[in-house]
């Protein structure tokens, strides 16, 4: 009778361990997919911004003749973002786009005729709306990364994470100096 109890206890413990292992693996997969989904949402908003850029550039070009290097830089960065192959490259290029767009909008402020055109106002509003959406999606992505990274680092789920190759994801961080207003010189 005692042997049966020990055998049933061991079998029960093994079954519980298997269920825990499977549940932990499944939760890691779900958290990983959540971070992938959140990053896709960030990319969707970036794509929206990148799609707005040609219209903004055309509007600005038509209304003001200034610093073509800024317009060329925006076009180059747009192409660079679209061809980036990994998250880090996309984040870096997105930060450069933000900086250059800020510069473009600050420059455009000095052209009253441009500021008065309906196209420019509509594009500026759309771009502002898109920037707000990007900020929201970045925050959601970082929340998902925090949850995922915490799960793969904490005991005992870190055992399963290591066994199946779940690796830490990178937070979306603003580039150094992003808190500063871009300087524009004429």
Q: How many domains does the chain have?
A: 1
Q: Is residue 121 part of a domain?
A: yes
Residues 135 and 140: their CA atoms lie apart, in Å, by 9
Residue 114 lies in a domain: yes
DSSP state of 5: H
pLDDT (0 to 100) of residue 66: 53
Residue 60 lies in domain: 51-154
Tell me, yes or no, whether 2 lies in a domain. Answer: no
Q: Let me know if residue 85 belongs to a domain.
A: yes
The pLDDT of residue 31 is 96
Is pTM beyond 0.85? Reply is: no
Confidence (pLDDT) at 156: 93
Low-confidence ranges of the chain (pLDDT < 70): 1, 59-68, 107-118, 174-186
pLDDT, tens only, 103-157: 777 766 666 666 656 677 777 788 888 888 888 999 999 999 999 999 999 999 9
Whether residue 64 lies inside any domain: the answer is yes
Termini Cα distance of the chain: 92
Q: Is residue 84 part of a domain?
A: yes
**Residue 90 · residue 81 · CB < 8 Å:** yes
Spatial distance between the Cα atoms of 123 and 55, rounded to a whole number of angstroms: 8
């Amino acid at each position: 009778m005692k042997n049966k109890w020990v055998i049933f206890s061991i079998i029960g413990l093994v079954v519980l361990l298997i269920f825990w292992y499977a549940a932990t693996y499944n939760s890691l997969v779900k958290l990983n997919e959540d971070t992938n989904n959140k990053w896709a949402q960030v990319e969707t908003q970036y794509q929206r911004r990148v799609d707005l850029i040609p219209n903004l550039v055309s509007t600005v070009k038509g209304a003001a003749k200034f610093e073509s290097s800024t317009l060329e830089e925006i076009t180059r960065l747009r192409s660079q973002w679209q061809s980036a192959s990994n998250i880090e490259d996309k984040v870096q290029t997105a930060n450069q786009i933000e900086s250059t767009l800020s510069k473009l909008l600050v420059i455009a402020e000095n052209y009253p005729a441009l500021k008065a055109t309906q196209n420019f106002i509509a594009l500026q509003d759309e771009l502002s709306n898109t920037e707000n959406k990007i900020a929201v999606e970045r925050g959601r992505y970082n929340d998902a990364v925090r949850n995922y990274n915490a799960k793969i680092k904490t005991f005992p789920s870190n055992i399963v994470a290591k066994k199946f190759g779940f690796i830490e994801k990178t937070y979306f961080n603003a580039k150094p100096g992003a808190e500063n207003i871009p300087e524009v010189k004429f």
